[in-house]
Amino acid sequence: MICAICLIINGCASFGFKTERKSRFVDADANTVYVEYGKEERTETLPNGAELKFDRKVRVTFQNGKRITLYQTLAPSGVRYQSADKKFIFVERGPYCQILENGFTIYQGLFNKDCTEKKKK
Query: Residue 15, SS3?
Result: helix
Whether residue 27 is predicted with pLDDT greater than 50 in this model: the reply is: yes
Does residue 120 lie within any of the structural domains? no
From the centroid of its chain, how far is CA 94? 15
Does residue 119 lie within any of the structural domains? no
Closest of 79, 74, 87 to residue 10, by C-alpha: 87
Query: Residue 81, SS3?
Result: strand
Does residue 22 lie within any of the structural domains? yes
For residue 12, the model assigns a pLDDT of 45
CATH number at residue 53: 2.40.128.200
27: domain range?
Answer: 2-111
Does residue 107 lie within any of the structural domains? yes
Confidence label for 16 from pLDDT (cuts 50, 70 and 90): confident
Does residue 10 lie within any of the structural domains? yes
Q: What tens digit of pLDDT does each residue of 65-109 get?
A: 999 999 999 998 889 999 999 999 999 999 999 999 999 999 999
Q: pTM for this structure? A: 0.79
